[in-house]
Amino acid sequence: AFAAAYGPLPSPFDGKARRLYITRKGAKLRQIINEQEVLDLMRARGFAVLQANWNNHPAQLGAFMNAENVVGVHGAGLTHLLMAPPGTKVIEMFPFDHRKTSMLHLCAEMGHRHRSFLGGPERLNQAFMVDVGKLAEAIED
């Protein structure tokens, strides 16, 4: 159905490790305050970076359908985990004082391996800091 609607779906991986980081840059809620440090880490670890928005739906589908590892902050950008292959490893980030379980349950239903990663305390608009060293350890686990 998606191929009929969109044609061939693009993949951001091009033969590289199929690691995907979903950025919330520009979102109203749940931004990572030190996201540039997180982006530097992700790129150094071979992650493709995707910003989910209204005009790149085919790119989102292509990325998730080919991903083996997905890291992102809790939010709508992770809903395409429905399209990821079973066994996809997921790290879902939250401020340490604000958690939701919807993606945990979605991952369980889809056969994904889910791990919560807790950052710093929630600030204005649910923004929070991430300890990049601890995130690096979580990725390598």
12-39, pLDDT tens digit by residue? 877 677 999 999 988 899 999 999 999 9
What amino acid occupies position 84?
A: A
Distances from the Cα of 106 to the Cα of 47, 64, 89, 90, 111, angstroms:
22, 14, 13, 11, 9
The 3-state DSSP class for residue 22 equals: strand
For residues 1 and 52, what is the distance between their CA atoms, to the nearest angstrom?
Answer: 20
Mean pLDDT taken over the chain = 92
Residue 54 class from Cβ within 10 Å (0-12 exposed, 13-18 middle, 19+ buried)? exposed
**How many degrees, rounded to 5, is the angle at CA 48 between CA 42 and CA 32?**
50
User: Is pLDDT of 69 > 90?
Assistant: yes
Q: What is the pTM of this model?
A: 0.92
